[in-house]
Amino acid sequence: MKLLIVEDDQFHAGFMLETVSKNLPEVSEITCVADGMKGVEEAESGLYPAVVLDLQMPGRNGVEAARAIWSAHPDTRILFWSNYADEAYLRGITNIVPETSAYGYVLKTTQASRLGLALRAVLIEGQIIVDREINGFHQRAMTTHTALSESEFNVLVDVALGLTDKLIADRRAMSLRSVQNRLLSLYQKLGVDDEGGAFNKRTRAINRAMSGRMLNIETLIAAERELLPWLEQHS
């Protein structure tokens, strides 16, 4: 069984290599590349049933790379690992994972034994595993009425990209008032309404979302790459 590791930090790559060779004897061959583009190119060959993917990478981030890989080979099993428990990543992943496949999401701070378990469970057994830290985070958000719905999250991304209400309405195919309604609920859920009238709600919401790790720069940069073509064609 062949395994592909995509990881730009050499020390982390080394550690992963070591952990894999200790825990997964059924892996016969390991390829290691250092950025998302190369990872996608390499995976296009279709030779890799299993991939380990870092989420923070220059060029193309982990979620984008995964989408490319899965669109060519939907059965690929992918283990994501990341420095941060960002809700934005989990949201991005759950949106693109095919029905037929398996994935996992573990933090780089988890100890080697748990990483070994996750590697086996996801890449060999085909299960779905999300680290407690990330999932708890997500669950807590889901229960306390602060979970962002799909449309709310979309509007949040567009606002953070710097779009105007009207342009968001065009892009997401809704009316101006609807966009503003989504914004109202965003302000509630992000706690901007409870902070007194001192703030500019729009920018404060972006700040809260980023501080609360529901949004990150990588996600925004990726979203911008999708926005630009639409913008040109639209004007």
**Interacting partner of 161 out of a second copy, DNA, none (Cβ under 5 to 8 A depending on kind):** a second copy
Span of 47-55, 119-127, 144-152, 203-211 interacting with a second copy by CB under 8 A: 203-211
Q: How far is CA 5 from the centre of its chain?
A: 17
Query: Cα dihedral sign for 173, 222, 93, 152?
Result: negative
- Closest distance to a second copy from the beta carbon of 210 (Å): 5
- In the shown chain, the binding pattern of residues 134 to 163 toward a second copy, with x for contact by CB under 8 A and - for none, equals -------------------------xxxxx
First vs last Cα of the chain: how many Å apart?
49
Q: CB–CB of 87/213 below 8 Å?
A: yes
Cα angle value 146/150/153 (rounded, 5°): 65
- Beta-bridged to residue 99, according to DSSP, are none
Helix (H) or strand (E) holding 42: helix 36-43
- Decide which of DNA, a second copy, none touches 185; Cβ closer than 5 to 8 Å per partner kind: DNA
| Contact positions with DNA (CB under 7 A) in 111-150 | 149-150
- Convert 28-63 to b/e letters by CB count within 10 Å (16 or more is b): eebbbbbbbbbbbebbeeeebbbbbbbbbbeebbbb
38 contacts which partner out of DNA, a second copy, none, CB within 5 to 8 A by kind? none
Other Cβ atoms less than 10 A from the Cβ of 130: the count is: 21
Which of DNA, a second copy, none has residue 183 at its interface (CB below 5 to 8 Å by kind)?
Answer: DNA
- What is the distance between the alpha carbons of residues 129 and 195, in angstroms, rounded to a whole number? 37
Among 45, 100, 149, 164, binds a second copy (CB under 8 A): 164
Helix (H, G, I), strand (E, B) or coil at 78: strand
In whole angstroms, how large is the CA radius of gyration of the chain?
Answer: 19
- Residue 208 binding: pick among DNA, a second copy, none (C-beta 5-8 Å cut-off by kind): a second copy
CB closer to a second copy, 57 vs 119: 57
Q: Would you say 100 or 180 has its CB closer to DNA?
A: 180
- Is residue 217 near a second copy by the rule CB under 8 A? yes
- Distance between CA atoms of 79 and 114, rounded to whole angstroms? 13
In the complex with a second copy, the residue whose CB is nearer, 11 or 150, is 11
The single residue among 205, 214, 219, 222 that binds a second copy, judged by CB under 8 A, is 205
Query: Which residues bind to a second copy, rule: CB under 8 A?
Result: 9, 11-12, 14-15, 108, 159-165, 167, 192, 196, 198-208, 210-211, 216-217, 220-221, 224, 231, 235
